[in-house]
Structure 1
Amino acid sequence: MSDQINEKKLITEEKKAASIKGMPVLIFNILFSIAAILGFIFCLIRLSEKVGNPGMWIALLIACALYIFLISPLLFIGLKILKPNEALVLTLFGKYYGTLRGEGFFFVNPFVSATSPEILATSTGTVTTSDSAPQSGKLSLQGLNLPVRASKKISLKTMTLNNEKQKINDKLGNPIIIGIVVIWRVVNTAKAVFNVDNYFEYLSIQCDSALRNIVRLYPYDVSGDDNEKTLRGSSQEIADKLREEIQSKVEVAGLEILEARITHLAYAPEIAAAMLQRQQASAIIDARQMIVEGAVGMVEMALSKLNEHEIVQLDEERKAAMVSNLLVVLCGNKDAQPVVNSGSLY
């Protein structure tokens, strides 16, 4: 029952806020404000001179004062300026009114207020953007490095989340150090503002969770099985699964994950030396296997050529001695030092 109530409270659709062009309203308000000020002064002069009906001048005086001190400020408050890839989430008396998108100069209901998530929050990542708008400072708090804005505008630009490196156990239980970078943007401003408390922090936490879930499904590296996917050898497939995992978790926050990439991958320091020795041993074994296979092939070719051209007749014992000598020469680590035999072998 509680889950159904929570689902009903979630906002799923973003609606467009009612607005008109702001420049005509600005010009109209300035002209009428000037006229109201002149009318206010004129009424004061008439009242001081006691010319005409005093009640009429008092009524005009009150009307001019209302426009100057009440209506004109409200009209100025309703004027909003948006730059490219910016949006304003508006509420009217606590209810979602709509989202103002698109660059330009707009006039909206002066009683609406812009809403944006709180910047102050902890996170394990750093969010960067190409936004060049004026900022009132930078905030760095436990790994979170976010601009502290004086306005309530929501950035629709593509942003990058660079999470800190984490120590996670892979499928085989080996601890590894891994870091990712996530490229994302806001696509539904209503979800981003109302469904989660802070979509910056929410994204960072979900990236950490998704990374742990994905890493535990794959080994860092395996030997002898080329078909098994690994973190080191199947980076593209792992990145795609990671992006899908994060996207499924941040859909409720109105975010779109454009790309997720592994930026750092290494064994943890406590096992790095042992794993390096293991890799070196595996490489040596593979190299020796290739050398032996090549040497056997060369010996086989030499024997077949000797028999084919009938250069020399070798019995089984001499063939065995020749094979032994050739394998020692071909598989040895050092260059062979030939010895000339001037006598008989027996």
Structure 2
Amino acid sequence: MTTTTSHIPEHVPESEGPDAAVAAARPARLIHTESTTEIPVHLLFREEPSAPPAEVKLRPAVVAHRPTPEKAEKPEKPEKDDRDTQDIGVRARASAPRVDPDVEERPARVLPGIAGVLAGLCGAAGCAVTAWWAGVLPPFAAQAFGPSAGAGGLGPAQWAAFAGAGALGLFGFGGLARGRTGRAWVLELFGRYRGTVRGTGLLWVNPLLLRRRVDVRLRHWRGEPLPAADRGGVALRVSVLVVWRVRDTARATLGIEDHEGYLRACVEAALLRVPVAAPGAGRGAVQATQDALTRLAAADVGPVGLEVCAVRPLRVEYAPEVAAAMHRRRLAALDARHRASAIGAVVDSVEDTVTRLTMRGLLDLDDDERQVLVKDLTVAFCAGRGETGA
């Protein structure tokens, strides 16, 4: 049986016969754009292939196929938040510098110091034995070691023995190094990074490697006053305390020319991008400024192997060009606050006086007389506070 596709009209006209009655009983479709496909009933329950069924006329089932809905409209982007310190870490990671991915700290191959000491002693002993063999020992040494095995002088064999023993001694003693807590060595061989030594005590390092000492302790520095601005754009001068350390010695030494200078530049750039709490701001605003500066500086210097623990503003003051104007503004605000508190105190005193006189029955005043009394008491109290300097 073949499958056909048909469209059901919205309105089925009346017709005679059983087929017309069945068609008229079908409900009108709700979706005007839907399409229908006729599937034979025996195919809906068919599990395995079988012989072709007998020709039986069955009413085909109707399965509706709804068209693919259009893509939902993208939600509108939320309005941009004006808070300056929001998403600072995300923006900082997006603009963070990139360094060579192959430059990454890894431990170098070193030996205990006793190995170098033994190699050096063996080399020195070999040189002494070779000199005794060649008969070139000093007189005092010859008496200690006894007569030499030969007096032919330094021949090719003796020179080869001297070279081998001397090289062994120099190689053993020349590779001795003392590892200290909080210090590390970055090793290079012909310009190629060979690893980092963070061990302590007596160690033996290949003397052919170039060593660069790096301080990995927790360090801090207090910078000079740097330019900044508050939320209102008023110019400020800020002195900060930066606590930092070297986390990846390879990147800090080989990935950048001067990591300390780069750190100072990143802190100065962070001060220009983060609004600093103005002088006299609360502890919450100061803490928010510190957190934002720390996140931004840490994101900038992280790829070069540095770790910033804290960037704390120590001293915040207005820039010289706006210091006088801001001082007058603060004085005016303090004076307005003082006046508001003084007026509030006078009003409270007048209200308390009038209430007490009325409750005790000492005065029986109407509204006009009450207003006159309140006015006189207010003038008297204000004059009294002015004379006492309150």
Task: Indicate whether the TM-score tops 0.5.
Answer: yes
Q: Which has the larger radius of gyration?
A: 2
1:111-126 equivalence runs, <5 A? 111-114=208-211
Find the counterpart in structure 2 of residue 201 from structure 1.
261
Find the counterpart in structure 2 of residue 25 from structure 1.
116
CA spacing shift, 1:18–1:242, aligned 2, 3 Å: same
CA–CA separation in structure 1 for the residues paired with 2:337 and 2:151: 111
From 331, 335, 346, give the equivalent of 1:284. Answer: 335
Q: Deviations over 1:43-82 (max 9, x none)?
A: 24569635xxx9xx84541333213443322222222211
Find the counterpart in structure 2 of residue 220 from structure 1.
278
CA–CA separation in structure 2 for the residues paired with 1:201 and 1:49: 65
Find the counterpart in structure 2 of residue 40 from structure 1.
131
CA spacing shift, 1:275–1:8, aligned 2, 3 Å: closer
CA–CA separation in structure 2 for the residues paired with 1:12 and 1:322: 86
Amino acid at match of 1:91: E
- The 3-state SS of whatever aligns with 1:16 is coil
- The 3-state SS of whatever aligns with 2:364 is coil
Amino acid at match of 1:196: I
Amino acid at match of 1:42: W
- The 3-state SS of whatever aligns with 2:188 is strand
CA spacing shift, 1:186–1:219, aligned 2, 3 Å: closer
1:1-346 equivalence runs, <5 A? 9-11=100-102, 13-44=104-135, 49-50=151-152, 58=155, 60-114=157-211, 152-215=212-275, 220=278, 234-332=285-383, 333-335=385-387
Q: Deviations over 1:73-105 (max 9, x none)?
A: 222222221111100000122211100002111
CA–CA separation in structure 2 for the residues paired with 1:65 and 1:99: 34
Find the counterpart in structure 2 of residue 342 from structure 1.
none
CA–CA separation in structure 1 for the residues paired with 2:252 and 2:117: 31
Amino acid at match of 1:80: A
CA–CA separation in structure 1 for the residues paired with 2:122 and 2:264: 50
Q: Deviations over 1:169-190 (max 9, x none)?
A: 4332322211111011111101
CA spacing shift, 1:44–1:315, aligned 2, 3 Å: same
- The 3-state SS of whatever aligns with 2:206 is coil
Amino acid at match of 1:103: T
CA–CA separation in structure 2 for the residues paired with 1:68 and 1:330: 106
Q: Deviations over 1:116-135 (max 9, x none)?
A: xxxxxxxxxxxxxxxxxxxx
- The 3-state SS of whatever aligns with 2:386 is coil
- Aligned structure 1 segments of 4 or more residues deviating by more than 6 angstroms: none
CA–CA separation in structure 1 for the residues paired with 2:326 and 2:338: 18
* Gap runs ≥5 in structure 2: 1-96, 137-147
Find the counterpart in structure 2 of residue 143 from structure 1.
none
CA–CA separation in structure 2 for the residues paired with 1:296 and 1:267: 38
CA–CA separation in structure 2 for the residues paired with 1:330 and 1:277: 29
Structure 1 residue 16: deviation in Å?
0.5
CA spacing shift, 1:330–1:221, aligned 2, 3 Å: farther
Structure 1 residue 159: deviation in Å?
1.1
Amino acid at match of 2:340: Q
- Aligned CA RMSD, in angstroms, stands at 2.6
CA–CA separation in structure 2 for the residues paired with 1:232 and 1:328: 40
* Gap runs ≥5 in structure 1: 1-5, 115-151, 223-229, 337-346
Contact 2:187–2:209 (Cα < 8 Å) also in 1: yes
> Scaled by the length of structure 1, what TM-score is found?
0.73
Contact 1:221–1:233 (Cα < 8 Å) also in 2: no
CA–CA separation in structure 2 for the residues paired with 1:80 and 1:329: 88
**Equivalent residue pairs, number:** 280
Contact 1:22–1:80 (Cα < 8 Å) also in 2: yes
CA spacing shift, 1:11–1:311, aligned 2, 3 Å: farther
CA–CA separation in structure 1 for the residues paired with 2:106 and 2:285: 41
